[in-house]
Chain A
């Protein structure tokens, strides 16, 4: 395999010395099969040990290496150099404070993720003798695509509503809320609504749809949020027409939740 020279323009921010981020350019000799993360590691190993970035698995599973490459957020371990021009600009994810270089502060997302109860709130013990829940193929398919999220936060980087509105829970947290709402084993939907259907939840989303376009795992957060809007609206009007109805925790018919 032949060597190719690329120019890597990396956004740097060193809080001890920089007042604002600046681009630094590195000439990187690279192999055709490399990804952007390999080029960054080449810089770290051979040119500049002070460059900071997060990564772990190098196989699009851990979600830690997402960054903005030539304007679009993506996993740098999946961004093949052969698909990119000779000059590649790399920035940290947008809409997050920069901790250092390509490392962003994730505290806000962690807090929001926690707020939507991203875990199964189980109904009473399963009736099967072995103590496990039975799920049909359809019940599994209802939530599986939304369970593929690896918390890479590429979706937050392109979401203008998250950038404009600090409180907004954002695409991945709301997609995960939907993932658990849509799970037949779960009865946590009502408890999640405090955040999900509030003024920091689904109604802040204006369906820009950019989240779904950049998601490396095809999670489709935009779809999750619109479906939650419909479910929440149906809930609201049903409550209005049938006040005091017995509230189901689960997401309705398909999930068969019982309270």
Chain B
């Protein structure tokens, strides 16, 4: 080793400097919106516990312009977060069929399939279908 190796500092804005880091940050940051989504639902459950009037107020707020905007933002961010993670699942959970590794898309497709089934069950349960 030389006596004076030069250490290049990492830029504080490293995550803005390459497309791959930006994509990674989008995947990570959207988890905050998942938390927000959960909070909105918890508030709903709380308002429900306070009686029909409180719950109707909650529903009205959700159907107001700000509520719809929030709903759209939450929908888009939730979809981004879920899809980016689904697409990574083959790396964490490789599927072996006999002594062959199955193509990654099967693992991804299984996740989307599971998502569709769970959504369907919920829609049936709440009587929307």
A residues in contact (CB < 8 Å) with B = 13, 15, 18, 20-21, 71, 94-95, 97-100, 105, 107, 136-138, 141, 158, 160, 163-164, 206-210, 212-213, 220, 222-223, 226-227, 229-230
Contacts and interface: CB of A to CB of B under 8 A. Distances in A.
Interface in B1-58: 1-8, 10, 14-15, 18, 20-21, 24, 28
Contacts of B2: 15, 99-100
Contacts of A21: 6, 8
A163 B13 CA distance: 13
B10 A160 contact: yes
A163 B9 CA distance: 9
B10 A95 contact: yes
Contacts of B14: 160, 163
A248 B2 CA distance: 45
B92 A15 contact: no
Given A136-B99, A141-B101, A163-B10, A227 B3 contact: no
B5 A226 contact: no
Given A21-B8, A98-B8, A220-B91, A138 B96 contact: yes
B3 A226 contact: no
A208 B8 contact: no
Given A94-B8, A209-B20, 17 more contacts: A15-B6, A18-B6, A21-B8, A97-B7, A99-B1, A99-B2, A99-B5, A136-B99, A137-B99, A138-B99, A160-B15, A208-B20, A209-B91, A210-B18, A212-B91, A227-B92, A230-B93
Contact of A209 (B4, B6, B24): B24
B103 interface: no
20 contacts: A15-B4, A97-B5, A97-B7, A98-B7, A105-B5, A141-B99, A141-B100, A141-B101, A158-B18, A158-B20, A160-B14, A207-B88, A208-B24, A209-B24, A212-B91, A222-B91, A223-B91, A227-B91, A230-B92, A230-B93
Contacts of B1: 99, 105, 107
A137 to B, nearest CB: 5
A204 to B, nearest CB: 15
B113 interface: no
A211 B99 CA distance: 27
A227 B2 CA distance: 38
Given A137-B99, A138-B96, A20 B6 contact: yes
Contacts, number: 77
Q: Using C-beta atoms within 8 Å of the partner chain, give the interface range for chain B.
A: 20 to 34
Interface of B: 1-8, 10, 14-15, 18, 20-21, 24, 28, 88, 90-94, 96, 98-101
Contacts of B5: 15, 97-99, 105
A69 to B, nearest CB: 14
Contact of B94 (A207, A213, A227): A227
Contacts of A206: 24, 28
A99 B92 CA distance: 36
Contacts of B20: 158, 208-210, 213
Contacts of A94: 8, 10
A94 B90 CA distance: 29
A229 B99 contact: no
A18 B5 CA distance: 11
Contacts of A136: 99
B108 to A, nearest CB: 14
B94 A223 contact: yes
A229 B93 CA distance: 11
Contacts of A98: 5-8
A97 B7 CA distance: 4
